[in-house]
């Protein structure tokens, strides 16, 4: 099948279904975009849906692909994969985005024969992250994944990222090919085509070598927090955090290590507008009551920051479940975020998840620590990353000194940050906001004593907020606004 003919058919189908539109669009995160692509509406156009499925199947034939079964990336590609498999008598697998909490609790439905090759079907590829997520789930079931077919490649680096992971991407057409067809047909003005191409070229994801949890460069200069909020599979807590950080222009987490409830609430009230997260050690309060956390919750909602109880759970699953849900503090009832050590194994996350998942809470895993002589390095850090990936329905990031995962849905929070670098006599090492955000690729700085010891805490918090935010803006290659 000629590429131009395929691009023409795809362009016509997308326009008819209202799946491809050009203009000035505001995405759900608030980010402006000159192009809008959404193929979910195809399900209401059965003839178009069948045509698109035929194009995908034919692309696989043209490439000479050999496979035993097919899996569509949830959810838009599921009906496409269903048509392909039904009409061509090919076994199909369904990947769930989250495991059921009853029955078999499987992430993949269908007959799985380890050693067989599964072909992935996708509608649109940008960074390739959705295909990679599906491939990883299938590979854990013992299946081979060597190829993926996509209707539309946005040419933003997804193909290269997939090839780096051993997956060949075969596209029916590219966005530039569709643009050229539409321009020739007079459906889109030359100026709009140029605007879209410029937008795409400025948002190219670059391949990143898989060499373990070494500090990593930014994968995309347009990878704003608001853009990351829209990534497939992003955790609800992470999405909320990405959006509020962009809205408030802050990636500062206050470590409110105080022993008085009055002081804790004063910090929340005064510094709330400057922070994205308030981190507590609730068990060091001398006068804790449930009224305190109720008021803290009210302040968090008013000033739009999340609450992070730095509990560092590190026991067996059944024990942490009770520690999280009950006891004096009833942490799950008021804290958006908790964290855990990975020393006990996956049971610690599973125990916390049983309580936190229904409440739409999130968890951070401690992958690295800022104290001198920490053992959280090397294989330990790799194990933490793997555990997070295996439990991404509940874990949405890491406490770490640098970026330890290539998955853009994960957030990285770094403690041990001060404007003046150095250390203390108890082994704490301090880095500057620029070192943490720009050089080491972290997302959020955690600051405690640097702010709490200042005579004017609000003024000092603003210094940290501006330093961290300017480092983030600089990392994106964007000039900071006054």
Catalytic (active-site) positions: 312, 315
The answer to whether 364 and 413 have CB atoms below 8 angstroms apart is yes
Instruction: Tell me the two tokens of residue 334.
Output: 């008021």
């Amino acid at each position: 099948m000629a590429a131009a003919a395929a691009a023409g058919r795809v362009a016509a189908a997308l326009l008819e279904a209202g799946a491809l539109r050009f203009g000035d669009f505001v995405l759900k995160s608030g980010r402006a975009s000159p192009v809008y692509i959404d193929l979910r509406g195809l399900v209401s156009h059965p003839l178009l849906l069948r045509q698109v499925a035929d194009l995908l199947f034919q692309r696989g034939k043209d490439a000479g692909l050999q496979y035993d079964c097919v899996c569509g990336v949830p959810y838009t590609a599921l009906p496409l994969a269903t048509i392909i498999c039904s009409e061509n008598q090919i076994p199909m697998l369904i990947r769930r985005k989250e495991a059921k909490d009853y029955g078999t609790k499987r992430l993949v439905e269908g007959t799985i024969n380890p050693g067989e090759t599964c072909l992935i079907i996708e509608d649109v590829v940008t960074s390739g992250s959705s295909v990679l997520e599906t491939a990883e789930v299938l590979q854990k079931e013992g299946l081979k994944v060597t190829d993926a077919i996509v209707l539309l490649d946005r040419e933003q680096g997804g193909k290269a990222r997939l090839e780096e992971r051993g997956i060949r991407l075969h596209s029916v057409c590219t966005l530039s090919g569709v643009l050229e067809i539409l321009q020739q047909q007079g459906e889109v003005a030359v100026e709009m085509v140029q605007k879209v191409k410029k937008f795409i070229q400025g948002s190219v994801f670059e391949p990143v070598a898989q060499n373990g949890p070494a500090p990593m460069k930014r994968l995309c200069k347009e990878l704003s927090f608001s853009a990351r909020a829209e990534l497939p599979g992003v955790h609800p807590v992470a999405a909320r955090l990405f959006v509020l950080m962009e809205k408030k222009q802050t990636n500062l987490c206050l470590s409110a290590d105080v022993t008085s409830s009055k002081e804790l609430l004063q910090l929340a009230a005064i510094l709330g507008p400057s922070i994205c997260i308030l981190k507590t050690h609730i068990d060091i309060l001398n006068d804790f009551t449930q009224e305190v956390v109720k008021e803290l919750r009210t302040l968090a909602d008013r000033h739009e920051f999340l609450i992070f109880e730095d509990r560092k759970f590190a026991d067996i699953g059944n024990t942490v479940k009770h520690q999280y849900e009950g006891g004096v503090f009833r942490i799950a009832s008021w804290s958006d975020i908790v964290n855990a050590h990975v020393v006990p194994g996956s049971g610690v996350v599973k125990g916390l998840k049983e309580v936190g998942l229904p409440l739409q809470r999130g968890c951070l895993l401690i992958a690295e620590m800022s104290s001198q002589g920490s053992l959280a390095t090397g294989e330990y850090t790799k194990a933490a990353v793997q555990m997070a990936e295996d439990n991404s329905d509940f874990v949405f990031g890491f406490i770490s000194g640098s970026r330890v995962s290539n998955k853009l849905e994960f957030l990285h929070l770094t403690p041990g940050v001060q404007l003046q670098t150095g250390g203390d006599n108890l082994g704490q090492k301090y880095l500057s906001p620029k070192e943490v955000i720009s050089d080491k690729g972290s997302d959020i700085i955690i600051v405690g004593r640097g702010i709490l010891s200042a005579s004017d805490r609000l003024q000092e918090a603003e210094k940290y907020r501006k330093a961290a935010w300017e480092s983030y803006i600089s990392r994106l290659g964007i000039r900071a606004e006054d």
